[in-house]
Structure 1
Amino acid sequence: MKYELDKLDQFIEANLSIEKLFGWSNDEADLLANLLFIKEEKERIRHAMMIEVGDIEDDRIAQKYVRTHQIRLVYLANKVIAYKEVAMPKVGGFLAKPYSNLCDEVESSLEFLLGFIEKFFNQYFDKDAAITECHLRLIDSELTETLIRFNELSYNEENQPLCILVGTILKNRLAERLDPLTYRQAFYFRELINLVLRIPDNLQKELVYLNFNDPAFYKYCTNKIAFELQEKGGAQEKISYMQFCLKELKQLQTRTNFIYRLDCMNINQWLTDWLIEEIAFHEKTNQPVISMPPAAISRSIELDKLELNLSVGQLGLLASLFIENCMPNHPAHKKIATAIAKNFMTKKAGKGEDISWESLLGKFYKHDKVSKDIVVEILMRMVKRVRD
């Protein structure tokens, strides 16, 4: 495989680095020659890559070739920006414009080549790689402009709070910058911006389709359903309403290969799981069974257990919450899980389940923070019902 960026790399070092500034010429012919070189080199690289990838039969080799050039182009683009930011305050007045023009032309050519690779070699392009600083600033600018326009959007009363919520999430993401923004995320942001600005009739459904799986949006959806349930009468009416919501949700698919946060579940599946859990909770009983049989009745281990109307999964999360929040410095997690398994038993849909410490620490222990918060809410609701 031939590396095609050597000449471009050498040109940047020879003409844009801080060390070379003092040797700069103000001759217009030199500037035009440099600009022409950049344009011709851009076309040469594009043509050479098309031929090279076309000749490679092994997809793995083709992917390595494309991604090597992608990573290097991002590196060079960021280097040009860094050079420009340091150099511009030091460049003399008559050199400022030609130096800036040359930097801009190089930046534009690098972004063009990255766009070319993404479009023509999409199957090899690394969408989870960081974007260039120039691209990031463009996204930041678009998000900032969108946030300014949020107050001007004519959303109806139902969708206005959701519009504000999306704006807040975007604003926080813009301010945090905890991780580099990837090409996948940049594309998602643009789609999200376009969605909000076109003011759809049902913003919530459109966000589900776009797989906007931010925990705050998930919370908004579940709270909205919970509020509607308060208006319903008996348990059966609530169950019917949730079944209707579940049916609608299953008919609403999410956009393929689209996701806002990689560390959270698909929003459709997330909400589906919540509804299924809520329906199961209402179908079992209105009052959870929490009772400790008197020790005098039997010394059987099973009868001495505290009976909870929880699934094994919920109890597993309860165990993990206890381990992480009550005894954060305790190393013997196995002992804690074993003790919980010995002292509790669960019922799921009326059928008893055996619990082992392996299941508590294995299958059900590793959950994200949001899932744990959900279980806390369920448990607190059950405790409140018992107290009432």
Structure 2
Amino acid sequence: MGQEYALEWLDQMVNELDPQRTKPENLDNDQSIAIVDKAAKEEKRLIRLFKHFVFQEQKNRQIRKSVNHYLSASLNLMRIASDNLNRLPTQADNFRLALQSVFSCLSEVSAFIVQRYKNLVDRDTPLNMVSIDSQKHDLRNLENRDIMKNNPGLSELVIRSFSDIFVDHRAGEITMRKLDYWASVSHAVTHSIDLLEMPEAFDHLEMVLIERNFNSPLFVKYLTSKFSDILKHSCNSSQDTQKLALLQKIFNQIPVMKDIIFDNHFDDLSLTINAWFIEEIDFQSKSCSAEMTRVDVQPSKTGKNYERKTSDKIMCNLTVDQLSLFLKAADLSNIISARSLSAVFQSVAPHLSTPHREDISHSSLRVKSYTVEERDKSLLIETMTRLMEQIKDL
């Protein structure tokens, strides 16, 4: 598109049709009809232009940048136009008709960009104002499927999570990430088949959601409650530990689809559930050890358990503050990548120790990352300078 700003006329109209700048009653019938006709022509022109847009750019990165630039500009103009419409007095029919035609043009153009360049649109761009058909992915229409009827409690949870986003609009903005997510879930439910090697611990709907990283806190609570119920009637801590370890193994053997997540504001489902397993197994193991201590009066060998627990840890000659700062900087500079910085801390913490801290918790790393001391910055920069010199000598 060169230097042309394709939305120039629409931008001009949104600014001119501002009831705080232009008196609504001053727009006569002929002026209103002229704007309506122009908006209809502009809609056809822009859609025709965006149909061939991909052929006018040289590189995918440029195409992606331009697509998101025009989508963002269009959505911003729609928000302004919507606010202007809400501020109009009741006796402003000509003004309202003209502004609605401009808003409609922007809406259709935005919807076309989203549909045409779906794979290029920023996955977290708010799309609430875009006309998007979510009916074909509506989980409410699939509640009579066998996969849903076989687990009515979880089915209700899933339908409610879908409705909170697309029906009741209580769960934040609609984004391409959420659209793609529910399209995948809907497709899996619609085309579900009986799995010959279904693990006994999980039913088909649970498998679909685990595979698709359904990291909703409600699903986390559902799974942990399910696992706890399995142990509820047991009085043997040793057997409980084995059951939990087996459940964890089965859970981790379920393949998780790449680059899909229910909500990227939360940690991955696997991280959260595995953290629960670790804590619960540790609790059960300690309970089992306490029972054995009461029976076995032989003196225990001090230090052995801890040595086994930490024997494979890596000693890092940084403080926890400096380690947190290093990981945060590595994440921000994309040297390492995960769903979130918290996910990085959870993955790394169990495998590291420092000269002063044999056990490092991911929560302490996370807390330290919020407040950075200048002294830690300086010491870490000195360490990185030595590392740089070492790399040069290799």
Question: TM-score when scaled to structure 2?
Answer: 0.58
Residues 178, 262 of structure 2: 8 Å contact kept: yes
Q: Identity of counterpart residues, as a percentage?
A: 17
Aligned counterpart, 1:80: 81
Matched, 1:113 2:106: no
Change (3 A) 1:11 1:216: same
1:337-388 per-residue CA deviation (whole Å, 9 max, x = no partner) reads xxxxxxxxxxxxxxxx9764356568673359xxxxxxxxxxxxxxxxxxxx
Aligned counterpart, 2:27: 24
Gap runs ≥5 in structure 1: 292-301, 313-331, 335-352, 369-388
Matched, 1:184 2:177: yes
Aligned counterpart, 1:131: 127
1:101-130 per-residue CA deviation (whole Å, 9 max, x = no partner) reads 444443333232223222333343112122
Q: Which segment is superposed worse, 121-130 or 198-207?
A: 198-207
Gap runs ≥5 in structure 2: 194-202, 294-300, 311-318, 322-351, 368-394
Q: Distance in 2 between matches of 1:198 and 1:32?
A: 49
Q: Distance in 2 between matches of 1:218 and 1:210?
A: 13
Aligned pair count reads 308
Residues 73, 114 of structure 1: 8 Å contact kept: yes
Q: Distance in 2 between matches of 1:289 and 1:333?
A: 35
Aligned counterparts, 1:287-302, within 5 A? 287=289
Change (3 A) 1:23 1:121: same
AA matched with 1:228: I
Give the CA deviation at 1:81: 0.8
1:31-71 per-residue CA deviation (whole Å, 9 max, x = no partner) reads 55433322221222233334443232233322222221111
Aligned counterpart, 2:72: 71
Change (3 A) 1:42 1:223: same
Q: Distance in 2 between matches of 1:262 and 1:359?
A: 31
Q: Distance in 2 between matches of 1:126 and 1:354?
A: 39
Aligned counterparts, 1:1-388, within 5 A? 1-2=2-3, 3-15=5-17, 17-20=19-22, 21-27=24-30, 31-87=32-88, 90-92=89-91, 95-96=92-93, 99-133=95-129, 159-163=151-155, 165-166=157-158, 180-185=173-178, 188=181, 202-232=204-234, 234=236, 237-238=239-240, 241-242=243-244, 244-246=246-248, 248-272=250-274, 274-275=276-277, 278=280, 286-287=288-289, 356-357=355-356, 360=359, 365-366=364-365
AA matched with 2:35: N
AA matched with 2:77: L
AA matched with 2:209: L
Residues 110, 130 of structure 2: 8 Å contact kept: no
1:234-283 per-residue CA deviation (whole Å, 9 max, x = no partner) reads 45654564455345434533444321221322224533454466557767
Give the CA deviation at 1:202: 4.5
Change (3 A) 1:269 1:83: same
Give the CA deviation at 1:23: 2.0
Change (3 A) 1:211 1:135: farther
AA matched with 1:11: M
SS of residue paired to 1:366: helix
Residues 288, 309 of structure 1: 8 Å contact kept: no
Q: Distance in 1 between matches of 2:87 and 2:358?
A: 57
Change (3 A) 1:277 1:26: same
Give the CA deviation at 1:74: 0.7
Give the CA deviation at 1:4: 0.8
Give the CA deviation at 1:227: 0.9
